[in-house]
Amino acid sequence: MPARMLTLREVSDYLHVNPATVRRLVRRGQLRAIRVGRDLRFEVRVVDQWVAAGGSIGRDSDRRESETHDQWRLGRGAQDE
């Protein structure tokens, strides 16, 4: 029997996070997805395993990325750190 697949929106609703957060988890390799054309699909089993394993959104790393982005946006590069 084929695995039940979820869309990006369904996973973001299930995890109660923004779809961009789910895309970020996929990009970082924290959550596995299958690309179908331009869309992402997720196996229910994989998402449930990720949650059961204590799947973390990683707020501390998100904060660091945001601070780095703000520094670049304000015209300060790595040399100012």
Q: pTM (2 decimals)?
A: 0.66
Q: What is the pLDDT of residues 38-80, one digit of tens each?
A: 999 999 999 999 999 988 766 544 444 444 444 444 454 444 4
Tell which residue, 4, 7, 9, 58, has the closest CA to residue 29: 58
Q: Is the pLDDT of residue 5 over 70?
A: yes
